[in-house]
Amino acid sequence: FASQIGHALSEVAAGVVDHGKAGKLVITLDFTQIGESHQVKIKHKLDYKVPTKRGTRSENTSLDTPMHVGTGGNISLFAEKHDQLFTREQAPIVPRT
């Protein structure tokens, strides 16, 4: 998504400078909780209009990305800490003696 934003910024800025008309870029982020977990689904939408010689050229994209919400609202692709799935007694592999 970051690369799409960078590309859109460059396209709109170039069109504005080349044709002397106004351009527009809109970023929309919608957040919804995933079940009862500490995860959110972020729907990110990018709409932009590039001025051209005879009008405008527009493009839009929309995708969803699941993210983990940590302490203090920190958002990342991965959970802050991973708990052990098994205790030493429950470990599926018996240690050598």
For 18, the 3-state DSSP assignment is helix
Say if strands 39-52 and 75-76 run parallel, antiparallel, or are unpaired: unpaired
pLDDT tens, 41-84? 999 999 999 999 999 999 999 999 999 998 888 999 888 776 66
71 vs 18: CA distance, rounded Å: 46
Q: Are 58 and 51 in contact (CB under 8 A)?
A: no
Would you list the domain boundaries of the chain? 2-76
pLDDT tens, 4-46? 999 999 999 999 999 999 999 999 999 999 999 999 999 999 9
pTM of the complete model: 0.70
Supply the pLDDT for residue 8: 96
Non-local CB neighbours of 49 within 8 Å, separated by 6+ positions = 12, 23, 24, 25, 56, 57, 58
Supply the pLDDT for residue 32: 97
56 vs 31: CA distance, rounded Å: 30
Supply the pLDDT for residue 95: 66
